[in-house]
Amino acid sequence: MRVIIRKDNTVREIEGKHTVGNILRLLDINPEAVLVLKDGKPVTRDVVVGGDEEIEILPVMSGG
Protein backbone atom coordinates (compact mmCIF):
# COMPACT_ATOMS: atom_id res chain seq x y z
CA MET A 1 0.00 0.00 0.00
CA ARG A 2 1.02 3.58 -0.47
CA VAL A 3 1.17 5.88 2.56
CA ILE A 4 1.43 9.63 2.03
CA ILE A 5 2.67 11.52 5.07
CA ARG A 6 1.60 15.14 4.60
CA LYS A 7 3.69 16.54 7.45
CA ASP A 8 6.79 16.34 5.25
CA ASN A 9 5.18 15.13 1.97
CA THR A 10 6.95 11.78 2.00
CA VAL A 11 5.58 8.60 0.44
CA ARG A 12 6.14 5.17 1.97
CA GLU A 13 5.29 1.78 0.50
CA ILE A 14 4.23 -0.87 3.00
CA GLU A 15 3.78 -4.52 2.03
CA GLY A 16 0.86 -6.66 3.16
CA LYS A 17 -2.36 -5.80 4.93
CA HIS A 18 -2.32 -3.84 8.17
CA THR A 19 -4.68 -1.92 10.39
CA VAL A 20 -4.29 1.84 10.35
CA GLY A 21 -3.18 1.65 13.99
CA ASN A 22 -0.41 -0.81 13.11
CA ILE A 23 0.75 1.37 10.21
CA LEU A 24 1.05 4.34 12.56
CA ARG A 25 3.08 2.19 14.98
CA LEU A 26 5.36 0.98 12.15
CA LEU A 27 5.99 4.59 11.12
CA ASP A 28 6.41 5.74 14.75
CA ILE A 29 3.57 8.27 14.41
CA ASN A 30 1.47 9.30 17.41
CA PRO A 31 -2.15 8.39 16.51
CA GLU A 32 -3.47 11.23 18.65
CA ALA A 33 -1.60 13.79 16.55
CA VAL A 34 -2.85 12.81 13.08
CA LEU A 35 -5.91 12.26 10.93
CA VAL A 36 -5.84 9.33 8.51
CA LEU A 37 -7.77 9.52 5.23
CA LYS A 38 -8.64 6.76 2.77
CA ASP A 39 -10.35 7.82 -0.44
CA GLY A 40 -10.58 11.32 1.04
CA LYS A 41 -12.60 10.17 4.07
CA PRO A 42 -11.42 9.80 7.68
CA VAL A 43 -10.82 6.24 8.89
CA THR A 44 -10.39 4.76 12.35
CA ARG A 45 -7.37 2.84 13.61
CA ASP A 46 -9.10 -0.54 13.24
CA VAL A 47 -9.59 -0.23 9.44
CA VAL A 48 -7.49 -2.73 7.45
CA VAL A 49 -5.69 -1.48 4.34
CA GLY A 50 -3.33 -3.14 1.92
CA GLY A 51 -2.66 -4.07 -1.68
CA ASP A 52 -3.10 -1.18 -4.10
CA GLU A 53 -4.83 1.04 -1.55
CA GLU A 54 -3.56 4.47 -0.51
CA ILE A 55 -3.92 6.40 2.71
CA GLU A 56 -2.95 9.91 3.71
CA ILE A 57 -1.70 10.88 7.14
CA LEU A 58 -2.33 14.51 7.99
CA PRO A 59 -1.08 16.32 11.11
CA VAL A 60 -3.83 17.64 13.38
CA MET A 61 -3.48 21.32 14.13
CA SER A 62 -5.26 23.02 16.96
CA GLY A 63 -5.17 26.46 18.38
CA GLY A 64 -7.10 28.75 20.52
Tell me the per-residue pLDDT of 3-51, one tens digit each, with 9 for 90 and over.
Answer: 999 999 999 999 999 999 999 999 999 999 999 999 999 999 999 999 9
In the chain, count H helices and then E strands. Answer: 1, 7
Count the domains in the chain: 1
**pTM of the shown model:** 0.91
Question: CA 14 to CA 27: how far, in whole Å?
Answer: 10
List the CATH number of the domain containing 55: 3.10.20.30
Decide: helix, strand or coil at residue 45: coil
- Is the model's pLDDT at 64 over the cut of 90? no
What is the domain extent for residue 17? Answer: 2-59
Does 64 fall in a domain?
Answer: no
- Is the model's pLDDT at 61 over the cut of 90? no
Does 10 fall in a domain?
Answer: yes
Question: CA 44 to CA 1: how far, in whole Å?
Answer: 17
